[in-house]
């Protein structure tokens, strides 16, 4: 049964947090896994799922209507490396140093990271001689972290594994996660794990894409298989309360197109920052939990698709060359939702060796090394890695000097 006002054809499902009704408001169609880059000789069927988003009427949590088995997304060949961007390396190094000078100052502090990837943050903690442990089920990047001296456990963080760590290592002063908590549909078990492992006065700190920024920028490409939840201060506050924790601080972050850092603690153990009330009031003013706001976003997404395709078809008709820049997970949402194939975008350049020589998920655009971009500059470059725009622009000044132009689609389709 479709709830009145839901996007046509989308069912109402139960919220993974509170079991309330989740009504769909955006359907992006059937999609492949965002990081499932294929070898050109592969001819087996790709795994597809329905990429659609809804909101819980009870706790307001925005979430995917269909989840993908976690083992399909996070595995030995997972290609994303957190240390691949200079901006992100600086971000994580700075945060590690901050935690070392604030939360990790006791006689024997202990930090646990969920989804530590290649250990970009924990390398600094390790170098400081502080006890730490990273959970990373993707074996390839976990091995890189271990090669830098980082202590890694190649398992998923949940109640059972967290309890085992508590028994072996004692409580954690800091439990941290970046771009990981939103990946975990089974948050009930994760938060029970946090409750079991966190020290009495410890903090659970996590940062993820912020729904407020996604809506404001029409950043629909932030929606893909790995991003199951789309958090706000309001929904995280409700989540924390249900889990026996308290939201005590929020901080806006400029990385990855707009994120929020949430700090949770045991109730009454930390003062609640005024920033929490301020952001809750701002979210109410903006109507972030209102269905009408979400339906306006869906209409804006449809308009972006129409405008981007119109531009690409016009450039092709004029005989211009267009390539993609950044074979990001986000690019899979754009290429598959918009139906972009090699007749519109010849290939994608990317710095990640594991993606080079392969085909992008679903759309099957060839992925070439970053060096291919400068071998023969295209007329236009579609900037899939828009969240690293300034870093990329600084690096690719010769492209602009040669007359090349960038195609942006966030917050709107435009040329630069």
- Give the start-to-end residue ranges of the domains of the chain: 82-292
Is the confidence at residue 122, as pLDDT, over 90?
A: yes
pLDDT at residue 1, as a whole number: 28
pLDDT, tens digit, 9 for 90 and up, residues 307-355 = 999 999 999 999 999 999 999 999 999 999 999 999 999 999 999 888 9
In the predicted structure, residue 5 carries a pLDDT above the cut 60: no
More confident residue, 45 or 335: 335
Terminal-residue alpha carbon distance, the chain: 45
Q: Tell whether the model's pLDDT for residue 30 goes beyond 80.
A: yes
Determine the pLDDT at residue 86.
83
**Token duo for residue 4:** 């009145």
Instruction: Please tell me the pTM assigned to this model.
Output: 0.93
DSSP readout, 5-65?
TSPTTPPPEE-TTT--EEEEEEEEEEEE-TT--B-TT--SPPPEEEEEEEEETTT--EEES
CATH 3.40.50.150 fits domain 82-292? yes
Over residues 47-91, the pLDDT tens digits come to 999 999 999 999 999 999 999 887 776 656 655 667 777 888 999
**Model confidence band, residue 255 (pLDDT cutoffs 50, 70, 90):** confident
Max Cα distance, the chain (Å): 68
| pLDDT recorded at residue 78 | 59
Which pLDDT score, from 0 to 100, does residue 7 have? Answer: 67
What pLDDT score does 77 carry?
61
The residues facing 259 across adjacent strands are 209, 253
What is the C-alpha separation between 83 and 257, in angstroms, rounded? 17
Average pLDDT of the chain is 93
Which residue in the block uniquely carries the two structure tokens 């988003």?
53
**What share of the chain has pLDDT > 70, as a percent?**
96
How would you list the strands of the sheet with 414-415, edge to edge? Answer: 367-369, 348-350, 322-325, 380-383, 405-408, 414-415
What number of helices (H) and strands (E) belong to the chain?
14, 18
**What tens digit of pLDDT does each residue of 125-162 get?**
999 999 999 999 888 889 999 999 999 999 999 999 99
Rounded to 5 degrees, φ, ψ at 61 are -65, 125
What is the per-residue pLDDT across 351-396, written as a single tens digit (0 to 9) for each? 988 899 999 999 999 999 999 999 999 999 999 999 888 889 999 9
Contacts of 296 (CB under 8 A, 6+ apart): none
Residue 239: the pLDDT is: 95
What does the pLDDT read at residue 3? 40
């Amino acid at each position: 049964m479709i709830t009145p006002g839901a996007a046509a054809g989308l069912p109402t499902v139960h919220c993974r947090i509170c079991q309330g009704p989740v009504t769909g408001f955006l359907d992006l169609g059937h999609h492949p896994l965002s990081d499932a880059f294929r070898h050109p000789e592969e001819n087996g069927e790709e795994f597809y799922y329905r990429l659609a988003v809804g909101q819980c009427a009870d706790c307001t949590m925005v979430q995917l209507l269909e989840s993908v088995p976690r083992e399909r997304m996070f595995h030995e060949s997972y290609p994303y490396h957190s240390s691949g961007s200079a901006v992100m390396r600086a971000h994580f190094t700075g945060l590690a140093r901050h935690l070392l000078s604030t939360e990790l100052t006791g006689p024997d502090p202990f930090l646990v990271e969920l989804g530590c990837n290649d250990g970009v943050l924990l390398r600094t903690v390790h170098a400081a001689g502080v006890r730490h442990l990273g959970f990373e089920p993707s074996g390839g990047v976990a091995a890189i972290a271990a090669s830098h001296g980082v202590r890694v456990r190649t398992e998923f963080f949940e109640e059972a594994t967290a309890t085992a760590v508590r028994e072996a290592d004692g409580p954690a002063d800091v439990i941290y996660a970046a771009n990981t908590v939103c990946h975990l549909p089974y948050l009930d078990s994760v938060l029970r794990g946090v409750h079991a492992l966190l020290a009495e006065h410890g903090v659970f700190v996590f940062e993820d894409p912020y729904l407020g920024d996604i809506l404001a920028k029409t950043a629909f490409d932030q929606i893909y298989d790995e991003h199951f939840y789309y958090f706000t201060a309001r929904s995280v506050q409700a989540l924390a309360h249900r889990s026996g924790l308290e939201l005590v601080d929020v901080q806006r972050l400029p990385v990855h197109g707009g994120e929020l850092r949430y700090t949770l603690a045991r109730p009454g153990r930390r003062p609640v920052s005024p920033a929490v009330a301020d952001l809750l009031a701002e979210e109410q003013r903006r109507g972030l939990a209102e269905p009408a706001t979400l339906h306006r976003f869906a209409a804006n997404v449809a308009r972006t698709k129409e405008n981007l395709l119109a531009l690409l078809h016009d450039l092709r008709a004029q005989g211009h060359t267009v390539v993609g820049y950044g074979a990001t997970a986000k690019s899979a949402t754009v290429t598959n939702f918009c139906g972009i194939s090699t007749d519109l975008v010849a290939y994608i350049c990317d710095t990640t060796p594991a993606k080079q020589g392969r085909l992008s998920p679903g759309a099957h655009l060839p992925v070439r090394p970053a060096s291919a971009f400068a071998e023969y500059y295209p007329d236009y470059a579609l900037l899939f890695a828009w969240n690293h725009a300034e870093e990329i622009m600084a690096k690719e000044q010769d492209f602009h000097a040669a007359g090349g132009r960038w195609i942006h689609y966030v917050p709107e389709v435009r040329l630069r």
